[in-house]
Amino acid sequence: MLTKNLALVSEVEGHDPGDVARVAAALQRQATRDLGPIWEVSATVDAFPSLADVPAGYWPMIILEDIHQEGADGIHLDKNGQPFALIELSDSWSLTASHEMLEMLVDPVGFRLIPGLSPMPEQGRVEFLVEVCDPSEAAEFGYTVNDVLVSDFYTPRFFDPVAVAGARYSFTGAIEKPREVLPGGYLSWLDPVTDHLWQRRWFKAEPEFLDGGVFDASVRSLRVEVDRQTPHPGLSEGLDAGNPTLRAAVEAGAQTAAAARARAAQLQAQIATILDGAG
């Protein structure tokens, strides 16, 4: 299995490198422990101080103060066809980074399709865009790794033709049946009969179907087109500081940081004893 190498880089002046390193460690654990066995991918995630320090062959995830575009930050392709992600800095930027990392690893180019029965009555078989975080992207369905807030993601069983008892449809279990869209999420597909891009969105009180029109693959990738048409306020703008999921993660993170400082102090004292003894 070829290992994919990802680089987390902040281009925000004054951004605490410790914050970047802590999120990179959480993303590494999520990729290795949670995503890897389910989607059969292998990845490393490392923090670098600048883009100039990123080795060739790494896929950058770049944190910016303002990405100057509406919708989700999203994954793009460079001039060599290699993926990179833009992440807007916010109080919940780790959730965005996790979302982009997971989708980059499962589908680097943004055009992986899986056939299945449309959620829309009488539409028949369609081709779903594999975006593993979209149906359960809302923060309330996320979870924490190292007390860092990360995104839920669906499993390959998400595209099963029927629900099966005991099957796992998303990592957290929030999705309970195939092709389910949760509040705050959405699902995208192509109708091969009309070449139209369709979505099932749950951004309002009730879920709805939206026709995105004919998709022209010569203009942009399907993922970029979906991101262009779809608002993601919780990702692109960040969560409100009072959001209960974010607040719980922040409180847990503060406890983890306190424990880390205590452990560091113990190690420093032990090292000092060793050095004094050697002298």
* Lowest mean pLDDT segment, chosen from 19-33, 53-67, 252-266: 252-266
Give the burial string for 84-105 (b: 16+ CB within 10 Å, else e).
bbbbbbbbbbbbbbbbbbbbbb
Cβ neighbourhood burial of 262 (10 Å; 0-12, 13-18, 19+):
exposed
Alpha helices in 68-207 (DSSP H): 93-106
* Lowest mean pLDDT segment, chosen from 11-15, 135-139, 194-198, 217-221: 217-221
Domain coordinates of the chain in residue numbers? 3-256
Q: How confident is the model at residue 232 (pLDDT cuts 50, 70, 90)?
A: confident
What's the one-letter identity of residue 197? L
* Lowest mean pLDDT segment, chosen from 5-19, 76-90, 129-143, 213-227: 213-227
Q: Is the pLDDT of residue 271 over 80?
A: no
CA atoms within 13 A of residue 243's CA, in its CB half-sphere: 19
CA atoms within 13 A of residue 5's CA, in its CB half-sphere: 8
**Measured between alpha carbons, how far is residue 271 from residues 82, 119, 231, 257, 279 in Å?**
44, 61, 51, 21, 12
Alpha helices in 125-177 (DSSP H): none
Q: Rounded to whole angstroms, how far apart are CA atoms 205 and 216?
A: 31
Whole-model pTM: value is: 0.86
Q: Is the pLDDT of residue 54 over 90?
A: yes
Q: Rounded to whole angstroms, how far apart are CA atoms 162 and 134?
A: 20
Per-residue pLDDT, 132 = 98
